[in-house]
Chain A
Amino acid sequence: MSDSPSLRHITRDGLWDNNVVLGQMLGLCPTMAVTSSATNGLGMGLATTAVLVLSNVLISALRAWVVDAVRIPVFIVLIAGLVTLVDISMNAWFHDLYKVLGIFIALIVVNCAVLGRAEAFASRHPVSLAALDGLVTGVGFTVALVAMGAVREITGAGTLFANAHLLLGQHFAFLETKVLPADTGALYMILPPGGFLVLGLLIAGRRWLQKQIDKRTADVAVAAAAH
């Protein structure tokens, strides 16, 4: 694992092949808990991305100085520090969103995805790659969260990106859409069981899509070989 993976490889891995949520199934708690709306998912995703990038960079930079006995505590302290910073900042500048995401900001600390990337990637690779890895992992996480939030919000409440202005400011209020008439959504979807259901279906969907892609590439390869 010491040879550096290509940038393309890291990007593809983080966004699709090994998407934290859909592929590795890490960081599930925030995924489930905050995705009753797309906006919440976006907010959580962005906050986590910030922490991921910063923690990857820090840990990669310090990796030579960390010994095994205290490796996990040191990583966790670093991550906790970053999370606290994000927590404080959101409290100060995005107070409304902060109220919604609540305890889950703090729980980014133990979001297994963050520590997972720290251990699996950042502690073994140079800073620049680690930063990229953090970024794509975070973006992959965000995409998954927004997708889940969107599905649950539309089917459960009939809206999309409700309250987007709290996160993105009034300019983005246009994102807020009412997809179905008021009070017609299936409550199941925004209640806890709906979260599990949607994630299950998303993973199955991703698998199906991957299969289609594989088939297509195989076909292309066959065609190329025939030429």
Chain B
Amino acid sequence: MNAPVYASPHAVTTRTTRQIMGMVMLALAPATVAGFWQFGWPAFCLWLVTILSCVTFEAICLQIGGRRAMPVLLDGSAALTGWLLALSLPPWAPWWLGVLGAAIAIVIGKQVFGGLGCNVFNPAMVGRTVLLVSFPVLMTQWVNPQMLAQGTDLSLAVQVGLGGGIPDAYTSASLLGHVKTDLGRGVPLLEAMSAFTPGQGLDGSRAGSLGETASLLVVAGGLFLVAKRIIGLRIPLGFIAGLCVPAAIAHASAPDHFLPPLAHLLSGGALLGAFFIATDYVTSPSSPAGQWIFAIGAGLLTWLIRSWGGYPEGVGFAVLLMNATTPLLDLWARPRIFGRSLTGRSLPARRRQEFIR
């Protein structure tokens, strides 16, 4: 009786939480490096500051909560949250914005709920959205790409990071922001779009946040995770469908007012959202049906907010909104239990007649 009780199974996979988080970071790395290439030292410094702040705040919270910090810090989830937050900030935002965002993401978005696995909203998106609502100007200031080519150096990074503001020569508008502004002025869509070519979305050579520019690399990273079976295809596909199908219909009916689906897909945080943000395990449903509903809903809301709402970009809000439905989806969109109907009743006794001769 005193011997420890071991319940089955007596074997487990070799995969661990830390490995999973590490793999996601690995998948993010190419797109991030491409971002550094485009936006230079300031972007790199902001990325570093944000991740370090996230890990620091996580450590502080664990300390206050009286929990052993080391094993939890090593699971890598805080660093991943910081990474994704950094990818969704304007690359030349001042450092304090990254620190504040990290504090919000980790403390308000995660630790008050009880830490990893307990939070109900996506911490990185909580951080980003609170910042967006709080500091709309800073959060919608974008810079031209190809910064390294233009010769930004570390001193500029420090100057920008400490809040010195962005020299006018570098500022630019993101596609969604630009289109929203111009549509607001009554400029027809085609004219508003003329400054952008679709190819820019693929290689990342246009204004935007670190993680939204190099779409090809984001997708590649996402597919790597799919291949490694870390994420499934339901959420990315559902998200893309939810965004592109209504966009295609609307664009077909009023090309002057609605962006084409490809522009939606290649701009803003759509792909990052589809592969890395909506897929966050903790805040998305775990059943297949729930995941479809969640993803399609998030894509649809993204399109709605982009096309009709006051904010130029909707991925963050859409993800948070669908996060709120996750518990209900987990409850109401459960898989059918083997041997039961969808409503949970036992299936009737039945046999395959064709086998009986």
Q: Is A197 in contact with B135, judged by CB distance below 8 angstroms?
A: no
Contacts of A187 in B (CB 8 A): 133-136
Encoded as 1 (CB less than 8 Å from any B CB) or 0, chain A from 170 to 197 comes to 0000000000000000111101010001
**Least Cβ distance of A180 to chain B in Å?**
13
**Which residues does chain A contribute within 8 Å of B108, judged by CB atoms?**
197
B289 sits at the interface (CB 8 A): no
Residues in chain B within 8 A of chain A (CB atoms): 108, 130, 133-136
Q: Could you name 14 residue pairs across A and B whose Cβ atoms are closer than 8 Å?
A: A186-B130, A186-B134, A186-B135, A187-B133, A187-B134, A187-B135, A187-B136, A188-B130, A188-B133, A188-B134, A189-B134, A191-B133, A193-B133, A197-B108
Question: In the bound complex, how far is the Cα of B135 from the Cα of A187, in angstroms?
Answer: 7
A residues near B (Cβ < 8 Å) are: 186-189, 191, 193, 197
Main SS at interface, chain A: helix
Instruction: Return chain B residues, CB-CB under 8 Å to A189.
Output: 134
Complex contacts, B136 vs chain A, CB 8 Å: 187
Cβ of A154 to closest chain B Cβ, rounded Å: 14
Chain A residue at smallest Cβ distance from B136: A187
Q: CA of A186 to CA of B132 in the docked complex: distance in angstroms?
A: 10
Instruction: Give, as a whole number of angstroms, the nearest-CB distance from B315 to chain A.
Output: 18
Cβ of A197: which chain B residues have Cβ within 8 Å of it?
Answer: 108
Closest partner residue, chain A, to B104 (CB atom): A188
Determine the distance from Cα of A191 to Cα of B136 in the docked complex, in whole angstroms. 13
- B17 CB to closest chain A CB, in angstroms? 28
Q: How far is the CA of A43 from the CA of B130 in the complex (A)?
A: 29
When chains A and B are docked, how far (Å) is the Cα of A181 from the Cα of B133? Answer: 19
**Which chain A residues lie closer than 8 Å to B135 at the CB level?**
186-187
- 4 more A-B residue pairs beyond the given contacts A186-B130, A188-B130, A193-B133, with a C-beta to C-beta distance below 8 A: A186-B135, A187-B136, A189-B134, A197-B108
Contacts of A193 in B (CB 8 A): 133
Bound-complex Cα distance A89 to B136 (A): 40
Cα A66 to Cα B108 with chains together (Å): 48
Select from chain A the residue with minimum beta-carbon distance to B133.
A188
In the complex, chain B residues whose CB is within 8 Å of the CB of A186: 130, 134-135
Chain B nearest Cβ from A195, distance in angstroms? 13
* Interface hub of B130, B134, B135, B136 (most chain A Cβ within 10 A): B134
Nearest Cβ in chain A — how far from B128, in angstroms?
Answer: 12
User: A191 to chain B: which residues have CB within 8 Å?
Assistant: 133
Note all chain A residues with C-beta closer than 8 A to B133.
187-188, 191, 193
Q: Which residue of B lies closest to A187 (CB)?
A: B134
What is the CA–CA distance of A82 and B28 in the complex, to the nearest angstrom?
Answer: 63
Closest 6 CB pairs of A and B: A186-B134, A188-B134, A187-B134, A188-B133, A188-B130, A187-B133
Chain B residue at smallest Cβ distance from A185:
B134
Distance A189 CA – B136 CA, assembled complex (angstroms): 13
* Smallest beta-carbon distance A197→chain B, Å: 7
In whole angstroms, what is the CA distance A193 to B136 when docked? 16
- B97 CB to closest chain A CB (Å) equals 11
- Measured CA separation A197–B112 after assembly (Å): 12
A22 to B130, CA, bound (A): 25
Closest to A189 in B: B134
Cβ of B134: which chain A residues have Cβ within 8 Å of it?
186-189
A36 to chain B, nearest CB (A): 14
B310 CB to nearest chain A CB (Å): 13
Report A-chain residues with C-beta under 8 Å of the C-beta of B130: 186, 188
> CA of A186 to CA of B134 in the docked complex: distance in angstroms?
4
**Cα distance A193–B134 when bound, in Å?**
11
CB distance from A156 to the nearest CB of B (A): 8
CB distance from B109 to the nearest CB of A (A): 12
CB of A149 to closest CB in B, whole Å? 18
